[in-house]
Amino acid sequence: MRWTRQACVEFDAEDVLGELRALFTLPDDRIYLDGNSLGALPAAVPHVLQRVVAQEWGQDLISSWNTHEWLQLPQRVGDKIARLVGAAPGELIVTDSTSINLAKVLSAALALARDRSPARTEIVSERTNFPTDLYVAEGVARLAGASLRLVDIDIDSGSDGGGGVRNAVDDHTAVVLLTQVDYRTGRMLDLAEITATAHHAGALMVWDLAHSAGAVPVDLHEADADFAVGCGYKYLNGGPGAPGFVWMHPRHAAEARQPLQGWLGHADPFAFDADYRPAPGVLGFQAGTPPILSLAALECGVDTVLAAEPFGGVAALRAKSTALTSLFIDLVDDRCPGMQVVSPRAAVERGSQVSLTADVGIDMYALVQALISRGVIGDFRAPDVARFGFAPLYTRFVDVWDAVERLAAVTDSEAWRDPRFAQRAPVT
């Protein structure tokens, strides 16, 4: 069809998820297309935090660990996230950051694999994986006397992912570590196919769900994954620095041990034993005291995603996400001839973002800054990619239209050449 702004307005009027936008506080003068980096503020957060601070902390003080069940927050929020990723109650815990959680699960998975076959001493990951995942994997491997091997996996296709992994793993592979949705391009891998291929080779499978949980369908049990970690502040809308989560398949519960043996990972924390006894299952992946204020905010964010359940849940979110990203690609193709889409054009291979690069000579960092000055918030990833995330809970079709109109204006006028847009900020 030939898209018009009025057609986008009509799509928004018919959108069954449209009413959920009211669950967020969004500035009227900006189009926010960066929910893949930081989710928008749930409207409930200020009220909930005010209650937790003023009443629970301010008045009830330390008794709130019992009267308001602060200690149970990591499990309660974890059970809610479990509904979004195909996990059962009690299998997923919210704790620490994604990076720290990844160190825990890689250590546990590596030890499991080597106990079963001492020759398995390699962690295999993708060369273009998110850098922190590679840094963590390298550190875990060094401490364990193992090695990290980086390979090129499924650069051209996410749908038939098993083939790339099959060529990458061998009898020395202990763990395969991949991110379901690539942070730079938005390319999406097939959890079930790749996990099955890793298992066929005798390796354990660890997934990073940072750019997928809350935006695309995830079924960890159906995929038969071994471990997963994820982020609380992107599509789960938990706020800057929100804690991450850990999931472990129950088949590993009796054997898996993570190295950060903190007191809340103990089977009986308030026994204050000198000897460590791990809590059962994923509870043992806790370490220190949970951050109550951050958990309270994250629970509000997860509740916004669960609010889509009466309308079809994650499947409905995925359908809208696909429609939004497809519209963006169509409009960029039509209006912005200097831009090239680097995300997969096949929707099945694409997460909830679209990434662009451009002809030689266009400074993509400056282009993103010029867009931000015009009220369109995306971000930049080195060396030359502009990213746009589409959070289906609050992004509208008319937002997509207006964003591409402003992108076309920036490229046509070469407004990005203004020297102020080339000045690099610490966060891009």
Same domain, 266 and 197: yes
- Active site annotation includes 387: yes
Neighbours of 248 (CB within 10 A): 26
Residues 321, 191 within the same domain? no
Is 128 in the same domain as 202? yes
- The catalytically annotated residue of 34, 133, 154, 208 is 208
38 within domain boundaries: no
Q: How confident is the model at residue 156 (pLDDT cuts 50, 70, 90)?
A: very low
pLDDT at 168: 86
Q: Are residues 72 and 20 in the same domain?
A: no
Strand 173-179 to strand 204-208: parallel, antiparallel, or no bridges (unpaired)? parallel
Give catalytic status of residue 130 as yes or no: yes
User: Domain total for the chain?
Assistant: 2
Do 92 and 21 share a structural domain? Answer: no
Residue 42 lies in a domain: no
User: Which residue matches tokens 């090239």?
Assistant: 340
Residues 105 and 135 in one domain: yes
Backbone angles phi, psi at 158, to 5 degrees: -100, -15
216 and 338 part of one domain? no
Same domain, 259 and 335: no
Which pLDDT does position 338 carry in this prediction?
Answer: 87
Among candidate residues 187, 320, 387, 396, the one labeled active-site is: 387
Smallest Cα–Cα separation from 105: which of 335, 214, 259, 271? 259
Domain interval for residue 27: 5-32+313-422
Q: Could you give phi then psi for residue 34, rounded to 5 degrees?
A: -135, 25
Domain for residue 255, yes or no? yes
For the segment 34-41, the average pLDDT, to the nearest whole number, is: 96
CATH code, domain carrying 330: 3.90.1150.10
Q: Could you say which of 32, 130, 388, 390 is catalytic?
A: 130
pLDDT at 158: 41
Using CA atoms, how far apart are residues 412 and 174, in angstroms rounded to an integer? 51
Q: Is 320 a catalytic residue?
A: no
41: in domain: no
pLDDT band, very low/low/confident/very high, at 160 (cuts 50, 70, 90): very low
pLDDT tens digit string along 55-76?
A: 999 999 999 999 999 999 999 9
Nearest to 256 by CA among 149, 363, 175, 324: 175
> Tokens 């298992």 — which residue?
199
Average pLDDT over residues 209-221: 96
What is the spatial distance between Cα 39 and Cα 303, in angstroms, rounded to a whole number? 13
Q: Which of 32, 233, 380, 388 is catalytic?
A: 233
Q: Are 344 and 377 in contact, with CB atoms under 8 Å apart?
A: no
Whether 234 is catalytic is yes
- Which of 306, 332, 362 finishes a domain? 306
Residues 294 and 245 in one domain: yes
Residues 155 and 180 occupy one common structural domain? yes
Residue 428 within any structural domain of the chain = no
Q: Which two structure tokens, joined as six digits, stand for 340?
A: 């090239």
Q: Specify the higher pLDDT residue, 1 or 213.
A: 213
Q: Give yes or no: 208 in active site.
A: yes
Percent of the chain at pLDDT > 90 equals: 92
Q: Which of 104, 120, 187, 234 is catalytic?
A: 234
Q: Is pLDDT at 421 greater than 80 in this prediction?
A: yes
Residue 157 has pLDDT above 90, yes or no: no
Which one of 306, 329, 353 terminates a domain? Answer: 306
